[in-house]
Amino acid sequence: MSDERMRILVVDDDPSVRRIIAAMLGRWNYEVILAGDGLEAWEILQRRDLRFVISDWMMPGLTGPELCQRVRAAKFANYVYLILLTGREDKSSLIEGMNAGADDFLVKPVYLEELRVRIRAGERILRLEWQLEERNRHLNEINRTLADAYATIRHDLESAAAMQKALLPPPLRLPGVAVDWLFRPSSFVAGDMFDYFVMDGQRLSFYQLDVAGHGVPAALLSFTLQRELSRGAVEQRLRQQDSSLDAVAIPPRVVADLNQRFQSGIDPLFYFTLIYGHLEWRSGQVTLTQAGHPRPIWLRRAERRTDLVGGSGFPVGMLPDLEYDAITFELAPGDRLFLYSDGITECVDAHGEQFSEARLIQLLEATADQPAATVSTRVGQALRKWKGDDNHQDDITLLILEREPRS
């Protein structure tokens, strides 16, 4: 509602009344439009954007209450404030006029000062209504802008999720070794990452990491780490440092090097847990280094039991100049090694109870005779049943390394 003069439509079949009211309104700096009856007023309202009407009650053709009913039924873009003038003073007439859609009611003869006060009250209501409309328009503009921004962000996140998915390795079969996995990010992109690749024709290198936090910041760091832990990057750093390292010394050296490279000094929560190791597929010997990651589960099929491997170690990036140890053991034919993120064991049900390490071990033991691909599917199904849906609070990652039984 701008600061221009308000236009008021005055409707009365008595010319003298119209002139008196018009004269007073003009003196009060209002722009006046006149109508001799309800039908003429209705035609004017359909052509012009008027927001204030003062109308007589009894008129030929279309009465004041009937005009009010038409205005309310028309649902004009802007609210129209309606004052009815009448000689009636009974409560039933007041109720009739208000039910017809009138906002105010004045009994004739009209006292001009009272009329002026009623008009000012109507102006305040119209101004508040206009301010509300302006705020709603502004909010709608903001909502449109936010919706466009959200659509852009969602598209970018979907692209990032597709890129992250493309970086995941396919299930692998080597002579005597099979690898499978389960991966479910908690949002579009995940802070979990894993990979495996053949080194020097006799070892399968593997890792699994979990960046602190979730969403885009964690995913960006996991993308960086995926490059840092790629076969080419690892081989290049090892050549630059010490080409005489034996196989057992490689995992702790790789992890210690990463720990030095990722000392942020900015945010103490900028860290990640990691398991890095390799499996010699002919002998079944596994060498790995842990850095704060959940202890791997070693399923010994022949003995029908499971062991938790190693300790935990410090996460990468928390403290400088750390030394990491290597853990070495041998997978027998038929044995499996499970690497997993804490998103599995800490998955909570509707009552806040965690899935737990014990339940995971029980499930892995129960599926010991099933193919690795079936095991990963069963774990995913169990987590969905436990949680009640697939909306996990943390990323879900399970990596299965199996030394296949001799045929």
Q: What is the pLDDT of residue 186?
A: 79
* Average of per-residue pLDDT across 65-75: 94
Domains of the chain: 7-137 (3.40.50.2300), 168-403 (3.60.40.10)
Which pLDDT tens digit goes with each residue over 17-60?
999 999 999 999 999 999 999 999 999 999 999 999 999 999 99
What local confidence, expressed as pLDDT, does residue 243 receive? 57
Residue 328's SS3 state is: strand
pLDDT at 233: 77
Least reliable range by pLDDT among 252-256, 268-272, 289-293: 268-272
Secondary structure of 222-271 in HEC code, one letter for each residue: HHHHHHHCCHHHHHHHHHHHCCCCCHHHHHHHHHHHHHHHCCCCCCCCCC
Q: Which long-range contacts (CB under 8 A, 24 or more apart) does 319-324 make?
A: 319/259, 320/259, 320/260, 320/263, 321/260, 322/256, 322/259, 323/252, 323/256, 324/251, 324/252, 324/255, 324/256, 324/259, 324/289, 324/290, 324/291
Pick the more confident residue, 61 or 39.
39
* Average pLDDT value over all residues in the chain: 88
Q: What is the pLDDT of residues 141-151, one digit of tens each?
A: 999 988 888 88
Kindly report, residue by residue over 207-251, the tens digit of the pLDDT.
Answer: 999 888 766 777 777 778 888 888 877 777 766 666 566 677 789
Mean pLDDT of 357-377: 94
Segment 264-282 mean pLDDT: 78
Q: What is the pLDDT of residues 159-202, one digit of tens each?
A: 777 777 777 888 888 888 999 999 988 776 667 889 999 987 78
Which pTM value belongs to this model?
0.67
pLDDT at 269 over 70: no
DSSP state letters, 50-113: --EEEEESS-SSS-HHHHHHHHHHHT-SS--EEEEEES--SHHHHHHHHHHT-SEEEESSPPHH
The residue ranking higher by pLDDT, 77 or 235, is: 77
Tell me the β-bridge partners of 106: 85
